[in-house]
Structure 1
């Protein structure tokens, strides 16, 4: 308990320091270094692709504590256009209450998080996925997306993070990524976030939700990380407190899309327990790893859910498949 109190105090002190610094300095551009090529397996798993469906064409409000600022130019790898807050208040977000943690490009490179840098040419795969996902969700009025996979190590967390960063680069859309893989949380580890308070501390009643939110130094993106594994994950995901929190983060800002990184489907019932709370699902399968039977079993479990597509990961390119 003392450790949690100290972590909360440090987080709040950092927010106060950020506010004081913003008063002393004019807003400056934030530039992320480019990332080198991430390792991918070559070749596509035609068996998994056949099970998932045929290929489709490759087209693809504000965060917690965000306040509107005068027009500024924000950069993340490459410059985003200067936007008037009168026309688009989402474009000029500055975080004053949410804890800001600037990420290490080398850490992101090691974990294949390439969409952090807008200048990386390989982000086109995730930009296409972003366009497809946003189009489908906007057409149906959906705002919450779950990302899951048949089994572990299919790359669902990597896909979810890259998709979230890609969406955040759009000036009219905010996104929150929540790590709800409670048995094996990986979002914080992949990004190299410091181990302070997290989702479990909120669920235990030790901290407020605002103490858990993190902005990774990119406008329009908020993270809800978790550092501690939960054994009774399925029961936790169905609690009233969890349901109220999901409703809160979904409805707090009209421009927000929420992405939930869920556990694999075939290893536990955790994802199935939570899926009734989301609008739609994206299934990530791994080239050379996911079998036809695993993909079919996963889609069978999702037959009463809005599956917006399947992503074939770990191939020469990230490819989106029809459900």
Structure 2
């Protein structure tokens, strides 16, 4: 387990009846051989035993996502670094990105949860800045999903005004390209503007598991970041656990106690590997202090 010190103050019953809109333009499938044939004994016609190829490729899916725009200058003033910057906080996120990628490559992981022990530690800002840092790599593919289903806020953080109901995608009622957005060419956003009261039950639902698997198959990302609720507040993280490779814990140097960190470690033990701990609002007299909105 690594500890990443940050100087910035970022706080930032299964429905089998599918609506027609739930059929993606890029339906999944498996490629197969077209040379395995056998004749129909009655008609003499050939029957191909191989499966049809996938009717999509990730590049086409990415191009199908509606683009969102954000005011880069205004966001940097609010603690978000959508573009490369020499600001010490932006540099810290780039360092976190590189160390994270090294850890993922060693394990062959890609599905990362970002959480915190309690509210107010800045997990959403860390998740968002980390996603943008990852997406700045040329020819990369990163997905950021707002899985704090009870209190989604990444759309608000980014200033996205679209009405997006992530529950429709998770239930299979809407295809990926209807609910996801794209920033630039390398970052896909699974945003949400509709709080879900039965969040834990949604995460336990087999439909959600199917939707997430389809998302990874269609987008083929290198890294998926799920912004999840605080670990000690509800069981959402544990509910999604089987669909995660590891967790990144964001703590607040001004409010998180050692007991809370130990409680999280105990919760993750034997269930979800703890990739590292981000110490937010760490005191660093060389880099200085930088204050952002608490979320």
Q: TM-score range by the shorter chain?
A: 0.7 to 0.9
Tell me the equivalent position of 1:189.
Answer: 156
1:145 equivalent to 2:112? Answer: yes
In the comparison of the two structures, how many residue pairs are matched? 232
Decide whether the 8 Å contact of 1:198 with 1:224 is kept in 2: no
Mark the CA change 1:107 to 1:240 in structure 2 (over 3 Å): closer, same or farther: farther
1:40 equivalent to 2:6? Answer: no
CA distance in 2: counterparts of 1:206 and 1:241, whole angstroms: 10
How far residue 249 of structure 1 moved from its aligned partner, in angstroms, is: 1.9
How far residue 173 of structure 1 moved from its aligned partner, in angstroms, is: 2.4
Tell me the equivalent position of 1:262.
Answer: 228
1:169 equivalent to 2:140? Answer: no
- What TM-score do you get using the length of structure 2 for normalisation? 0.72
- Which structure has more relative contact order (CA 8 Å, sep 6+)? It is 2
CA distance in 1: counterparts of 2:74 and 2:230, whole angstroms: 24
Tell me the equivalent position of 2:293.
Answer: none
1:311 equivalent to 2:278? Answer: yes
Describe how 1:266-305 pairs up with structure 2 within 5 A: 266-304=232-270, 305=272
Larger Rg: 2
How far residue 131 of structure 1 moved from its aligned partner, in angstroms, is: 0.7
Tell me the equivalent position of 2:179.
Answer: 212
CA distance in 2: counterparts of 1:155 and 1:279, whole angstroms: 22
Describe how 1:213-252 pairs up with structure 2 within 5 A: 213-216=180-183, 218-252=184-218
Tell me the equivalent position of 1:100.
Answer: 67
Tell me the equivalent position of 1:124.
Answer: 91
Decide whether the 8 Å contact of 1:283 with 1:311 is kept in 2: yes
Decide whether the 8 Å contact of 2:176 with 2:215 is kept in 1: no
CA distance in 2: counterparts of 1:223 and 1:250, whole angstroms: 13
What secondary structure is seen at the aligned counterpart in 1 of 2:64?
Answer: coil
What secondary structure is seen at the aligned counterpart in 1 of 2:9?
Answer: coil
Decide whether the 8 Å contact of 1:111 with 1:158 is kept in 2: no
CA distance in 2: counterparts of 1:275 and 1:293, whole angstroms: 22
Give ranges in structure 1 of 5+ residues lacking alignment: 1-37, 42-63, 66-89, 319-323
Give ranges in structure 2 of 5+ residues lacking alignment: 1-6, 11-24, 27-57, 288-295
RMSD over equivalenced CA pairs, Å: 2.6
How far residue 207 of structure 1 moved from its aligned partner, in angstroms, is: 2.8
What secondary structure is seen at the aligned counterpart in 1 of 2:200?
Answer: helix
